[in-house]
Amino acid sequence: MNEPATTATAGMAPGGRWVSGRAARVLLCVSGVSFMIMLDANVVAVSLPAIARSLGSTFSDIEWVVSAYILAFAACLMPMGALADRFGRRRLLLLGLALFTFASLLCGVAPGAASLNAARALQGVGAALQLSAALAVLGHEFRGAARARAFAFWGSVMGIAVALGPLAGGAITSSIGWRWVFFINLPIGAALLLLGASAVEESRDPHAQRIDLAGMVLFGSGLFSVIWGMIDANVDGWGGQATLSRLAVGAALLVAYVVVELVQARPMVDFALFRRRTFLGSSIAMLGYAASAQVMLTYLPLYLQNAFGFGAAAAGLRMMPFALPLFIVPRVAAALAGRVSGRSLLTAGLLVTAAGNALTAWLVANQAGYLAVALGMALTGCGAGLLNGETAKVSMSVIPPERGGMASGIGATLRFTGLVVGITALGALLVDRTRGHVAASLSGLGTGLPPLHALVSRIVAGDLSGALAGLPPSTAQHLQHIARDSFAAGFSTVLLGAAGIALVAALASWLLVSAAETAPHAHIPPRSSS
């Protein structure tokens, strides 16, 4: 008997299962796509020191390994959703999967840092394309109560990917090498392509908007120029002509993007949404969450390997105090949502994140052991777990249903923009503080040492062996202690910076988000923003 081609509804499938047949395969495909994207965003961080040692990369190079992927993803997320609505969600899902899988192959065979980072940017484009299409497929396939259960399943899969990322990255890097962090996507991508081709039906939005090409180009190039200037400022100097030029060009392009969106009849982003105080407050909370909590999925593995000398697998395992709350605490937040307002949950989550980062900073500065540092990591993870779903829920609570797609796209873009800006800005703090500590510590060691900039870049990247190569054993041993102490001092500053970001976002959330609009079981119909 042939399977029905209709979308899943609230009814139970035969045998008591809430979804079966083709709809179950669609859910598996969409969740698998999202799992692969989220896993790839987090699995690479543990591998960064190994990449730096293998390719002889500087800290700026390995910053781009993460930033190129997230930057391309953030810049393309909203316009790719419009492409999927216009040209077909199934078609764009399969195209995105093919592009992502091919880019993973290019990452795995990359001979140098430049080619790796270019392939990572291509991966980000593929990720944005397939994720936008996947979410649209999920929304089209499921209706009623089945839609809520489908998105809950999808969210749980995403949480598992976040928790498994550091562990999987460390295990793969230690056992078969960092290149297999990317090669592992090839069989997964091929399987998902076959599943998507056989299960997903084509769908389009008959009222899809035209593609906002000008907005897409201006936003992407403006954000790229700003991030480029901030990352390379560690080499060129913050007052250097190259840095100032890139920052100025980026700022001008972003201003032009805002102007273009304001004058269009059907813009990619309706800035009138930000006139709603609750939407504005939740958007700031989203930026704060990404830049103070999510960013630690990149920086904590570096610290665990550089300060404690853990290998990639051991560092991945020791990320669990931070990663597990991201999977567990959202269930606590869902229970609390029936008793307290979204305003309170957002503010509490950001305050817990700030407290966790501040505690970890104090422990790091005082050279505490791993078990003590793990307590601070777990506290930060709990704050992130409170925020993970609440930021999106609060922003959507005051937006008319017909603007839900745009609001969701804005939220996702803000999250990844905050993440890439956080990685870049906190990376600048890390390099500057580490450089100052190294310079002060080397003042009495005499000559014959590597240039300060090259030495610091190797230390921060996790390539300590490269930094010490060719030095006499006694000098290398002394420099090794200096390197670890200096990195710890720099990382403590990073944590304090993240705590400050979370505190500012908490204050903005409390002042801007309405307790009444985000009260438990509030049914306040949102006003039209047209």
Q: Judge whether 321 and 472 are in contact, CB under 8 Å.
A: no
Q: Which residues form the domain of 349?
A: 271-518
142 bridge partner residues: 8
What phi-psi label fits residue 356: left (phi over 0), alpha (psi between -120 and 50 degrees) or beta? alpha
Confidence of residue 3 (pLDDT cuts 50, 70, 90): very low
Residues 276 and 385 in one domain: yes
Q: How big is the chain by its Cα radius of gyration, in Å? A: 23
**pLDDT value for 445:** 59
Q: Judge whether 121 and 68 are in contact, CB under 8 Å.
A: yes
Which stretch of 19-28, 119-128, 245-254, 367-376 has the lowest confidence by average pLDDT?
19-28
**pLDDT value for 524:** 47
Confidence of residue 406 (pLDDT cuts 50, 70, 90): low
8 bridge partner residues: 142
Q: Judge whether 105 and 122 are in contact, CB under 8 Å.
A: no
Confidence of residue 251 (pLDDT cuts 50, 70, 90): very high
Residues 200 and 301 in one domain: no
CB count in 10 Å sphere of residue 333? 21
SS3 198: helix
Residues 176 and 296 in one domain: no
Residues 339 and 396 in one domain: yes
Of 305-309, 427-431, 441-445, 496-500, where does the model show the most confidence? 496-500
Mean pLDDT on 304-329: 87
Q: Is 172 a domain residue? A: yes
Q: Where among 238, 265, 292 does a domain terminate?
A: 265
Nearest of 347, 310, 345 to residue 504 by alpha carbon: 347
Nearest of 31, 26, 34, 36 to residue 142 by alpha carbon: 26
Find the CATH number of the domain harbouring 182.
1.20.1250.20
Q: Give the global pTM.
A: 0.81
Alpha carbon 437 to its chain centroid, in Å, reads 30
Q: Between 252 and 390, whose confidence is greater?
A: 252
Mean pLDDT on 145-164: 74
**pLDDT value for 448:** 61
Q: Is 5 a domain residue? A: no
**pLDDT value for 128:** 87
SS3 142: strand
Q: Is residue 302's pLDDT more than 80? A: yes
Question: Judging by beta carbons within 10 Å of its beta carbon (0-12, 13-18, 19+), is residue 241 exposed, middle or buried?
Answer: exposed
Q: Is 439 a domain residue? A: yes
Residues 222 and 152 in one domain: no
Which stretch of 47-61, 181-195, 202-216, 290-304 has the lowest confidence by average pLDDT?
202-216
Q: Where among 174, 195, 210 does a domain terminate?
A: 210
Residues 183 and 100 in one domain: yes
CB count in 10 Å sphere of residue 174? 18
Residues 414 and 493 in one domain: yes
Q: Is residue 18's pLDDT more than 60? A: no
Q: What is the pLDDT of residues 20-71, one digit of tens each?
A: 688 888 888 888 888 888 888 778 888 888 898 888 888 888 888 888 888 8
Of 2-16, 79-93, 229-243, 502-516, where does the model show the most confidence? 502-516
Q: What is the pLDDT of residues 108-145, one digit of tens each?
A: 999 999 999 999 999 999 998 888 788 778 777 776 66
Residues 115 and 163 in one domain: yes
Residue carrying structure tokens 């503080």 = 433
Residues 199 and 66 in one domain: yes
Q: Is 366 a domain residue? A: yes
The Cα–Cα gap between 117 and 65 comes to: 5
Q: Where among 210, 230, 257 does a domain terminate?
A: 210
The Cα–Cα gap between 517 and 513 comes to: 8
Q: Give the count of alpha carbons within 13 A of 417, CB side only.
A: 22
Of 16-30, 321-335, 343-357, where does the model show the most confidence? 343-357
Report residue 179: phi and psi, to 5°: -65, -30
Q: Is 12 a domain residue? A: no
Residues 248 and 395 in one domain: no
Q: Is 405 a domain residue? A: yes
Which stretch of 10-24, 334-348, 386-400 has the lowest confidence by average pLDDT?
10-24
DSSP letters of 213-243? HHHHHHHHHHHHHHHHHHHHHHHH-TTSHHH
Kindly list the distances between the CA atom of residue 39 and the CA atoms of 137, 166, 374, 498, in Å, as whole numbers in the listed order: 21, 9, 22, 23
Q: What are the tokens at 430?
A: 């890390």
The number of folded domains in the chain is: 3
Helices marked H in 274-341: 277-289, 296-308, 312-317, 320-336
The Cα–Cα gap between 357 and 496 comes to: 7
Q: Is 523 a domain residue? A: no
Kindly list the distances between the CA atom of residue 266 and the CA atoms of 82, 212, 269, 345, 392, in Å, as whole numbers in the listed order: 12, 9, 8, 34, 23
Residues 232 and 308 in one domain: no
**pLDDT value for 7:** 53
Residue 446: enclosing H or E segment and its boundaries?
none
Q: Is 261 a domain residue? A: yes
Confidence of residue 523 (pLDDT cuts 50, 70, 90): very low
Q: What number of helices (H) and strands (E) belong to the chain?
A: 20, 0
Residues 58 and 163 in one domain: yes
Report residue 516: phi and psi, to 5°: -70, -45
Mean pLDDT for all residues in the chain: 82
Q: Judge whether 141 and 19 are in contact, CB under 8 Å.
A: no
DSSP letters of 390-425? HHHHHHHTTS-GGGHHHHHHHHHHHHHHHHHHHHHH
Q: Is residue 264's pLDDT more than 60? A: yes
